[in-house]
Amino acid sequence: MRKSFLFLVVGLFAVLLLAGCGEKSQADVVKGLNKKVTEMTGYKAEAKMTLQTGSEPQVYDVEIWYKDPTYYRVNLKNAQKDQSQMILRNDEGVFVLTPALNKSFRFQSDWPQNSSQAYLYESLVKDILKDSAAKFKATEGKYVFETKTNYQNNKMLPSQEITFNNDMSPSIVKVLDTDRNPLVVVEFSKFEFNSSFDKNAFDVEKNMSHAQIEVPTLAMGNREPFAVKYPLEQPAGVELVEEKEIETENGKRVILSFEGEEKSFTLIQESAEIATPASASTSTYVSGDPADLGFTVGALTETSLTWTHEGVDYMLASEDLSEEEMLMVAKSIQGQSAK
């Protein structure tokens, strides 16, 4: 009898203990996320980003460094194609480094504050805090939010599903299209709050030199002619009407002209020029705003979008296309087999 009573007491205590450790509410988690963002001095993270915007998935390894309040280092690497690109923000501005071409470009920009960023922790938390209608569920020790995105130039990705671990670190982010298909998926494998950084962690020249050890600069003489790529998506009624090829000092330049009743645009592709070591210390100023295409970062203006990928320079120019349409066309060019 005494033993049965003891088991009953222990059982009731266990039930009460479990009840006291129940899942956190949405308000609790939001408060915890806000506290983390407010108090952290920075972080280091590693993730795998998968893009579903072409005919086949494109997978990139992403390394993210952030130092409060405005220092960023985001390294994007395509392991299969031995490519990398880096976004840096320091006191001098926002830089995009392409080590294989020995080039860096400088923007005067508010990046990343002016748009959602699926791989930046504080951006994810900011989107949650801004969305009063955010959905929430707690499951298996993880906290899942569904919120609106803030992609100013891309209404095709209106929402995102963000999953956090119980220590408030990010687990996985799915950026959804209008049909709720995940077009961008970021899976975090490592996340360290309040990391320390050496004094050169966000220096342009130091990062360029270090990156070139991992991804050597392309040799101009050994480069093969690039294969022309065509967009998989364009505004309704727009078709390719002309294709011209011109020989240049760097190889070839291909000009594709697309026309429709209301919309038209020109797409230029040519071998990217490789900067000489003597010019590595200077950055080219780029007009426009940085445009995160997922696989690379381009420069977006009201009438053009330029970017470099796999040793090829691309320029999309149009008086008719909206910024959203230019991004749609650009993203559909990559992640496909060349014709």
Token pair listed for 188? 């975090």
- pLDDT band with cut points at 50, 70 and 90 for residue 3: very low
Residue 220: its pLDDT value, please? 54
* Residue-number span of the structural domain to which 255 is assigned: 220-273+301-333
Percent of the chain whose predicted confidence (pLDDT) is above 70:
84
| C-alpha–C-alpha distance, residues 331 and 336, integer Å | 10
pLDDT at residue 45 above 50?
yes
Token pair listed for 101? 């071409």
Residues 263 and 134 in one domain: no
Q: Residue 338 domain-assigned?
A: no
Q: Residue 1 domain-assigned?
A: no
Q: Residue 193 domain-assigned?
A: yes
Residue 14: its pLDDT value, please? 41
Q: Residue 239 domain-assigned?
A: yes
Residues 227 and 208 in one domain: no
End-to-end Cα spacing for the chain = 82
What's the pTM?
A: 0.84
Residues 210 and 240 in one domain: no
Residues 110 and 182 in one domain: yes
Give the per-residue SS3 of 281-295: CCCEECCCEEEECCC
Residues 78 and 205 in one domain: yes
Domain boundary residue, one of 188, 214, 240:
214
| C-alpha–C-alpha distance, residues 242 and 267, integer Å | 11
- Helices and strands (H, E) in the chain, number of each type: 5, 19
pLDDT at residue 336 above 80?
no
Q: Residue 325 domain-assigned?
A: yes
Query: Do 136 and 143 contact (CB within 8 A), yes or no?
Result: yes
| C-alpha–C-alpha distance, residues 73 and 112, integer Å | 11
242-274 pLDDT, tens digit each: 999 999 887 899 999 999 999 999 999 998 887
- Domain CATH number, residue 132: 2.50.20.10
Closest CA to 70 of 136, 114, 8, 22: 114
49-71 pLDDT, tens digit each: 998 866 678 889 999 999 999 99
Mean pLDDT (whole number) for 78-98: 85
Q: Residue 295 domain-assigned?
A: no
Mean pLDDT (whole number) for 310-333: 91
Query: Do 231 and 338 contact (CB within 8 A), yes or no?
Result: no
Residues 63 and 210 in one domain: yes
Domain boundary residue, one of 163, 196, 214:
214
| C-alpha–C-alpha distance, residues 70 and 89, integer Å | 7
pLDDT at residue 26 above 70?
yes
Residues 230 and 179 in one domain: no
pLDDT at residue 15 above 50?
no
pLDDT at residue 147 above 90?
yes
Burial zone of 138 (CB within 10 Å; 0-12 exposed, 13-18 middle, 19+ buried): middle
DSSP state of 244: E
Residues 245 and 158 in one domain: no
Token pair listed for 265? 């645009």
Q: What residue type is 18 in one-letter code? A: L
| C-alpha–C-alpha distance, residues 271 and 37, integer Å | 42
Residue 156: its pLDDT value, please? 81
Residues 97 and 202 in one domain: yes
| C-alpha–C-alpha distance, residues 55 and 238, integer Å | 20
- Domain CATH number, residue 227: 3.30.200
Residues 108 and 175 in one domain: yes
What is the number of domains present in the chain? 2
Residue 201: its pLDDT value, please? 97
Domain boundary residue, one of 214, 231, 260:
214
152-202 pLDDT, tens digit each: 666 788 999 999 999 999 999 999 999 999 999 999 999 999 999 999 999
* H or E, element range at 205: helix 204-214
| Cα angle value 56/60/62 (rounded, 5°) | 155
212-235 pLDDT, tens digit each: 877 766 665 556 788 999 998 899
Burial zone of 306 (CB within 10 Å; 0-12 exposed, 13-18 middle, 19+ buried): buried
147 against 296, higher pLDDT: 147
302 against 187, higher pLDDT: 187
Percent of the chain whose predicted confidence (pLDDT) is above 90:
55
Residues 230 and 195 in one domain: no
Q: Residue 317 domain-assigned?
A: yes
| C-alpha–C-alpha distance, residues 57 and 50, integer Å | 6
Closest CA to 81 of 293, 284, 310, 242: 310
Dihedral sign computed on CA atoms, order 93, 98, 102, 103: negative
Largest distance between two CA atoms of the chain: 96
Q: Residue 296 domain-assigned?
A: no
Residues 98 and 234 in one domain: no
Sequence-distant (≥ 6) Cβ neighbours of residue 329 within 8 angstroms: 231, 233, 234, 265, 267, 316, 321
| C-alpha–C-alpha distance, residues 170 and 298, integer Å | 26
To which residue do tokens 């929430």 refer? 136
* H or E, element range at 71: strand 71-78
